[in-house]
Amino acid sequence: MTSEARNASRSGQDFILLGFPCSREVQFLLFSIFFVTYTLTLLGNTVIVCAVHGDRRLHTPMYVLLANFSFLEICYVNSDVPNMLANLLSQTKTISFARCLLQLYFFFSLGTTECLFLSIMAYDRFLAICRPLHYPTVMTIKFCVRLVIFCWVYGFLWFLIPVILVTQLPFCGPNVIDDFLCDLGPLLALASACVPIPGTVLICGTMSSLLIFATFLYIIGSYSLVVWVVVQVPSRAGRKKAFSTCCSHLAVVFLFYGSVMMTYVSPGSGQAEGMQKFTTLFYSVLTPFFNPMIYSLRNKEMKAALKKILGGS
């Protein structure tokens, strides 16, 4: 950390994001790896959005939700990766208080929206497999659009209270965050070093845990019912087709929630410093990177649409 950065942090107006403390050569290597991952993530998710938009056969609720989910992933990686890349090349590694709070709000709001989208996608698969006769009348495009709007609006409203509470916290410096983004845990730890804030920690922890557990249990409950129905399907081909429509979604769910729970549900004191940084990196950078491959490789209709949009046969 340079003396310029230390002086900036002591002023109380800036934070220092340590990111990945290592030699300049290793930081350039990390920059190259993350830049390629970021670029491929944008391309992969953009192709899915364009494929759904350009193929009328995919204008169904399931694919409308998938296209919105891919657009969400584009927004999600843009909330933290560009700043992380700039941080790897920066000497001071500082971020202003206002930018830090803005990143915190968008990062967590988009994460909340992702939890809601995964729940809605589980509801869609539950209806399609467990209530196939009611599916066309219940899950109409109009109702699907309402669900999409609900996810986006509610996702950006849920985390307003924690962010407002963070703006009221004292930061007496040096404001050094051992992470690559303005995460909630490190910010609360910095404020706790100045004055006790048990009420704020309790409210933020409760809201995070409530969102994570409520959506995760709903998704698991939905797919438990789906599995119960599928195992009773007499034909092997029918069971295989039903499972194939859900496997990609479940893979994304476990990738996302597995790393999120390790970060925000496990007690912070019991988690190694490097482990929290790794789990945050996994669900915020790597999961959006894997999602296009998971959805396209296990879906015949999506593979056909991708071939069409990419100019294949």
User: pLDDT tens for residues 46-85?
Assistant: 988 988 888 888 888 988 999 999 999 999 999 999 999 9
Query: Rounded to an integer, what distance in angstroms lies between the CA atom of residue 83 and that of residue 41?
Result: 16
Confidence of residue 41 (pLDDT cuts 50, 70, 90): very high
Two tokens at 146?
């309402």
Is residue 313 scored above 70 in pLDDT?
A: no
pLDDT digits (tens, 9 = 90+) for 83-132: 999 999 888 888 999 999 999 999 999 999 999 999 999 999 899 888 88
What is the predicted pLDDT for the residue at 286? 87
Mean pLDDT of the chain: 84
Is residue 10 scored above 60 in pLDDT?
A: no
The whole-model pTM stands at: 0.88
Confidence of residue 1 (pLDDT cuts 50, 70, 90): very low
Is residue 297 scored above 50 in pLDDT?
A: yes
Report phi then psi at 96, rounded to 5: -70, 160
What is the predicted pLDDT for the residue at 68? 95
Query: Rounded to an integer, what distance in angstroms lies between the CA atom of residue 238 and that of residue 254?
Result: 24
Confidence of residue 9 (pLDDT cuts 50, 70, 90): very low
Two tokens at 125?
């698969």
Is residue 135 scored above 60 in pLDDT?
A: yes
Two tokens at 278?
């790794």
Confidence of residue 5 (pLDDT cuts 50, 70, 90): very low
